[in-house]
Structure 1
């Protein structure tokens, strides 16, 4: 779906001298909206119109509360690790004592009661280590969760893109899943043109169109990617005296990234068919 329309420009293009064949259309883009899965207050947002390299931060939510929590959880985990080490050492000693008494009991140097107490001590030490392991694992899981929250609060681009819009101001609260930034990935602009039924047999996916855009002396080449299966009436945004009552087919054509420089979604185009 086209994100922006420029109705007045469309009307002018429809009446331009280049539209001899009545093949009109516009440029459209596949925008990407970036959101965070967690809530937070917006800290920074990339400036609109800025080109970002892949991996660059598009926006960042305030992660100060999570950073404080992470420090606290790491300290707790360190203490629990020390307890776990103590429990492991205690279990090792209890097992050594039990093994020693087992050897002595076989020679009747110690009573069965002494061996039973040693085995009970091993069981207690094993339970203590198991509890220490569970506490440490829970603490480590908490650390992983907080680190994930911090990572979510800094959203980066997966590919080169231009910042089209930031939906929030710095300091505003952002709910989970709400789009914060709209990006225009490099190479995402395409042409949408409407071909009369009588001319449909002359084109096929893979064919090349020549697009005329205001302000450019040379046409732009675009490769047809898709032709609609069903006809429709000419969209109101590209009405002209010749085409307003015509049934046309929507044709989508790809433009190479190199030719997309200085192009903008919503610009009207006139097309020459092969």
Structure 2
């Protein structure tokens, strides 16, 4: 009789165990950090590295320096162009100097004297031609010389009027526009020059420095990679059947490969568009289904030291 009671009790326990709730589903993924890649603004050799991989850096801290000699030469040329445009604008605004006016008046007086002399020569040759004492070609030469002298006087008078009346408004505006363009070109080169000193845009940890001193990275190649943010996050993949039940801020427990305890985390976001199941999440029937990428921010303080790329498993916190 006692044996029968034990068998019945065992059957009840097994039945209760079979009727219990299923274990919470495990979400698979990897541990990640927000990452910033810093590109090379110019294809110049790396001169120095101020940090090494794994270092913690602050915002604005110098990471590495690219050779700036080529950019310095371009900057000097741009600054000279600005100075030239400033001088031309000042000349137009202030007008001609007294020495220029004196030279223009002297040139006009010389042209007028030459015209008087040419006119006398023409008249003399005309009288001789009337008496048929000189050839017709000589008279034509004297006439051309007189006309040329008249043109020289007109040119000298126009130049003197230009210096006397001052600069037109349109000329000043053109000079101001040329100066503004030269300053913009200089400022752009100055900005590019400053970016040859690569600095951290945010506080974080150096993840990678792919180039060493002497290497010449191509333009826009990543010369430094930073892991930033207050904590890492687990990037996991949620089956469509569980997507509707997730809410922002929901608590999870995350177990990272090589860590012997669970890490507290909360749901930050879930992608609105589904994706195909990644290879490491291919389990059972889910292998042919779409999943949604989710991000679980690690709340534990010791999560700040965890490296990126660790495989993780996440389950809802009880």
Q: TM-score, normalised by structure 1?
A: 0.65
Going from structure 1 to structure 2, the CA distance change for 1:186 and 1:63 (only over 3 Å counts) comes to same
Pick from 144, 150, 175 the counterpart of residue 218 of structure 2.
175
* Correspondence list, 1:192-203, <5 A: 192-195=235-238, 202-203=245-246
Q: Which runs of 5+ in 2 are unaligned?
A: 1-22, 100-153
Question: How large is the RMSD of aligned CA atoms in angstroms?
Answer: 4.1
List per-residue Cα deviations over 1:147-169 (Å, max 9, x = no partner). 13312323333221221112222
Residue 61 (1) aligns with residue 66 (2):
yes
Deviation (angstroms), 1:184: 1.3
Query: Would you say the 8 A contact 1:27–1:189 is kept in 2?
Result: yes
5 Å-filtered alignment, 1:16-165, equals 21-45=25-49, 46-71=51-76, 73-75=78-80, 77-78=82-83, 81-82=86-87, 84-91=89-96, 119-122=161-164, 125=167, 136-137=179-180, 139-165=182-208
Deviation at 1:226, TM superposition (A): 0.4
TM-score (norm 2): 0.58
Q: By how many angstroms is 1:62 displaced?
A: 0.9
Aligned position for 2:296? 254
Q: Is the 8 A contact 1:224 1:251 kept in 2?
A: no
Tell me what 2:123 maps to. none
Aligned to 2:103: none
- Return the alpha-carbon distance in structure 2 between the equivalents of residues 236 and 269 of structure 1: 14
- Give the drift of 1:144: 2.4
CA drift at 1:21? 4.5
Kindly state the Cα deviation for residue 142 of structure 1 after the two structures are TM-superposed: 4.3
Contact 1:187–1:256 (8 Å) recurs in 2: no
Whether 2:265 is the aligned partner of 1:221: answer yes
- For the pair shown, the structure with the greater C-alpha radius of gyration is 2
Equivalent pair of 1:209/1:224 in contact (CA under 8 Å): no
Deviations 1:83-110 (Å, cap 9, x if unpaired)? 654554334879xxxxxxxxxxxxxxxx
Q: How far did 1:187 drift?
A: 3.6
Contact in 1 for aligned 2:29/2:313 (Cα 8 Å): yes
**Structure with higher helix content:** 2
Q: Deviations over 1:15-64 (max 9, x none)?
A: xxxx9844433212342221133322222343211222122233332112
Deviation at 1:263, TM superposition (A): 1.7
2:250 matches 1:207: yes
Whole-angstrom distance in 1 between the partners of 2:212 and 2:163: 62
CA contact (8 A) 1:40 1:62 kept: yes
